[in-house]
Every structure is written in structure tokens, then in C-alpha cells.
Amino acid sequence: SGKSTMIRCVNRLEEHQEGTIIVDDKELASDLKKIHEVRREVGMVFQHFNLFPHLTVLENCTLAPIWLRKMSKTQAAEVAMHFLRRVKIPEQANTYPGQLSGGQQQRVAIARSLCMNPRIMLFDEPTSALNPEMIKEASVGRTVEAALLAEPAR
């Protein structure tokens, strides 16, 4: 228990109550500069995907690179299509999330995260809609941590 909360605390989407969170040798306290540095290097894929329903798959994937990495729209679209091909759904680029299956939505969430070129990927319950091969594909060249639903052995 607490795996999803831990992932949310790493990106400071929730505050932790005690202890210290250290990511890539950076302690996450109240230093906003360090928090922003970590957010730029940590990709997160949530159990519920958090896709924008009013944006197409391509728009979901290009929004952050355009606004946060200051990529041109053309470059962001090229990067997005590269990762949509890697997760095997390039044909869904102009589709809206509500038209996709759960597995396809999770692939979009992975592609969206990869578009930011994170060094570390965090998956919240990746087995909920994704097969292990896709997780392996998304993790090439990155540190990957997965919060699994499985209960510990007793």
C-alpha cells in the first residue's frame, strides 16, 4: 500500500508527511528549483493515464514539449510520432482518448511521457492495461520504477 502515493510524492503532486525524498541525488524539500529539475527528468505514467480528453493523441503528446521544452510544433510532432511508432499506435495520432481502449490510452500516456525525454520513468500499476513487452520498450535507456498492484507474498 502507498505505492501510488509514493509516486505522486516524487513529483510533488502530494506532500509527504515524514522522511526525505531523494531523486537523482537531489533532495526534494521546498526548493522549487530542485523540484523543477526533477520534474524535467522524471516521466510518470499514472494508472488512470490523465490524458486530456479534448485533445487528440498527437496534441496530448506535443503539449508539454512545446510549452516546457520550448520545441517548435513541427519538432514536437516529429518527436511525438517517433514515440507513437515505438508504442505501436501511430495510426491513432488524430484520434481522441475517449475513442481508444484502455491499453491504447496507456500507450499514449507512455508516448506522451517519453516525448519529454525523461531519464527516469515511473509507472503506477503498469499491469493494469499494458503488457510487459511494452513496458520494456518504454524503458530502453531509462531507469524504470513500477508500482505494482500485486500484494507481497506471505
For residues 21-28, average pLDDT: 78
pTM: 0.75
pLDDT of residue 17: 80
| Domains detected in the chain | 3-147 (3.40.50.300)
Sheet holding 143-147, edge to edge: 42-45, 120-124, 143-147
pLDDT of residue 149: 40
**For the segment 83-139, what is each residue's pLDDT rounded down to a tens digit?**
999 999 999 999 999 999 988 998 999 999 999 988 888 877 665 555 666 666 655
Spatial CA neighbour of 10 closest among 32, 38, 33: 38
